[in-house]
Amino acid sequence: MNDPLTRAIHQVRDWTYENYHWAYLAGTAVLCNSLFFPNPAHTIYAWLTCALLGAVLEPCVNPYRQIYGSNLGRLREGVALTFDDGPSEDTPALLDLLKAEGVKATFFVIGSQVEKYPDIVRRIAAEGHALGNHTASHPNLMICTPGRTRRELERVQQQIQELTGQKPTWWRPPFGFRSPWTQPVATRLGLRCALWTINPRDFQDPGASVIVERVMGALDKGVIVLLHDGLQKRGQTLEATRELIHRLKEQNIRFQLLDESDA
pLDDT digits (tens, 9 = 90+) for 116-137: 999 999 999 999 999 999 999 9
Strands 192-194 and 71-72: parallel
Q: CA–CA distance from 11 to each of 17, 191, 211 (Å)?
A: 10, 37, 16
What are the φ and ψ backbone dihedral angles of 62, each rounded to 5 degrees? Answer: -95, 115
| Model confidence band, residue 63 (pLDDT cutoffs 50, 70, 90) | confident
Annotated active-site residue in 129, 202, 228, 229: 228
- The pLDDT of residue 241 is 98
- The pLDDT of residue 263 is 45
Q: Which of 58, 62, 83, 79 is nearest to 71 (CA)?
A: 62
138 is catalytic: no
Annotated active-site residue in 84, 90, 202, 229: 84
84 is catalytic: yes
* pLDDT (tens digit per residue) in 70-96: 999 999 999 999 999 999 999 999 999
* pLDDT (tens digit per residue) in 141-151: 999 999 999 99
CATH number of 71-260: 3.20.20.370
pTM of the full structure: 0.85
Q: Where along the chain do its domains lie?
A: 4-61, 71-260
Q: How far apart are CA 212 and CA 207, in angstroms?
A: 9
Q: Which of 171, 245, 184 is nearest to 215 (CA)?
A: 245
